């Protein structure tokens, strides 16, 4: 989530790998908690949010030194809006992030294939892949995602600012703690997508994979809340950061 370093490896490949690992660990912990007959079945929200924090940390570490470790279209677009990332690279980053999320979700399915078969709850199967609101209200769910992603982008800007004093090698860890906090504090209403690729890539995998008795992929929700909510919140976070740091030049 910092400036791009001159890579020998393609930054698009790095975003693919980082996002794939993000989903492999993040959706993997959800599968471990919600699917039937797993070792971690019913271990709760603390386990899920902790697993997602670790997922973000490893995903950023895997890509940070090559691509800046965005692994999130909302972050990429926000950085471009701030002038810290070239708009010409935004489409390639977003495509790489979505593809990485899609492949990561397939890997989770392969790892937990038998447990999908043992699980009868259709919503639980979808929740392994994508976010589901606890109380469905599109405007309020949208607002929740705006607020959570606003906190994410504003927090990332603060963590990566030179004045923060955070050593570069520890930035992924601190960002992981930020996402852990967002999950614990703001994740209750919607499951905190805060990342369009994290939701839509795996949701497409849910649509296409031969999961027994899987039910709907709920695209009417997906194409509004976890897509435009994070982008809107990220841009608001970038705007507030620019206003906040304007006196610093």
Condensed to tens digits (0 to 9), the pLDDT of residues 74-93 reads 999 999 999 999 999 999 99
Mean pLDDT of the chain: 96
When pLDDT is cut at 50, 70 and 90, the band that residue 5 belongs to is low
Greater confidence, 6 or 28? 28
When pLDDT is cut at 50, 70 and 90, the band that residue 247 belongs to is confident
Looking at residue 236, its pLDDT comes to 98
Condensed to tens digits (0 to 9), the pLDDT of residues 171-202 reads 999 999 999 999 999 999 999 999 999 999 99
* Percentage of the chain exceeding pLDDT 90: 95
247: left (phi over 0), alpha (psi -120 to 50) or beta: alpha
HSE (side-chain half, CA atoms, 13 Å) at 96: 23
Nearest Cα to 32, choosing from 123, 120, 111, 133?
111
Average pLDDT on 203-217 reads: 97
Buried b (16+ CB within 10 A) or exposed e, 56-68: bbbbbbbbbbbbb
Condensed to tens digits (0 to 9), the pLDDT of residues 10-42 reads 999 999 999 999 999 999 999 999 999 999 999
Two structure tokens written together for 20: 């794939």
> Domains in the chain and their CATH numbers?
11-248 (1.20.1080.10)
- C-alpha 210/C-alpha 245 separation (Å) is 50
Cα 167–Cα 158–Cα 175 angle in degrees, nearest 5: 65
Looking at residue 6, its pLDDT comes to 52
Looking at residue 239, its pLDDT comes to 97
When pLDDT is cut at 50, 70 and 90, the band that residue 54 belongs to is very high
Nearest Cα to 55, choosing from 119, 104, 4, 113?
104
Phi, psi of 203 (to 5 degrees): -65, -40
When pLDDT is cut at 50, 70 and 90, the band that residue 8 belongs to is confident
Q: Pick the range with the lowest mean pLDDT from 14-18, 127-131, 154-158, 243-247.
A: 243-247
When pLDDT is cut at 50, 70 and 90, the band that residue 248 belongs to is low
Condensed to tens digits (0 to 9), the pLDDT of residues 90-129 reads 999 999 999 999 999 999 999 999 999 999 999 999 999 9
Whether the per-residue pLDDT at 3 is higher than 70: the answer is no
């Amino acid at each position: 989530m910092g400036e791009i370093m001159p890579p020998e490896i393609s930054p698009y490949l790095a975003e693919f790998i980082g996002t794939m690992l993000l989903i492999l660990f993040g959706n993997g912990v959800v599968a471990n908690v919600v699917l039937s007959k797993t070792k971690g079945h019913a271990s709760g929200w603390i386990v899920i949010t902790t697993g997602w924090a670790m997922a973000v940390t490893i995903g950023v570490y895997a890509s940070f030194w090559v691509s800046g470790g965005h692994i999130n279209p909302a972050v990429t677009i926000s950085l471009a809006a701030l002038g810290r990332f070239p708009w010409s690279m935004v489409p390639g980053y977003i495509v790489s992030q979505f593809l990485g999320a899609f492949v990561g979700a397939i890997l989770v399915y392969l790892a937990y294939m038998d447990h999908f078969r043992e699980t009868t709850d259709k919503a639980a199967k979808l929740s392994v892949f994508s976010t589901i609101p606890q109380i469905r209200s599109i405007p309020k769910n949208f607002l929740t995602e705006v607020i959570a992603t606003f906190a994410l982008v504003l927090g990332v800007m603060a963590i990566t600012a030179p004045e923060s004093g955070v050593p570069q090698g520890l930035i992924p860890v601190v960002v992981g703690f930020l996402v852990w906090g967002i999950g614990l504090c703001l994740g209750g209403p919607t499951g905190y997508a805060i990342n369009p690729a994290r939701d839509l890539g795996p949701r497409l995998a849910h649509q296409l994979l031969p999961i027994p008795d899987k039910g709907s992929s709920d695209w009417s929700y997906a194409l509004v809340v976890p897509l435009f909510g994070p982008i809107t919140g990220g841009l608001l976070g970038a705007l507030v950061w620019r206003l906040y740091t304007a006196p610093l030049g």
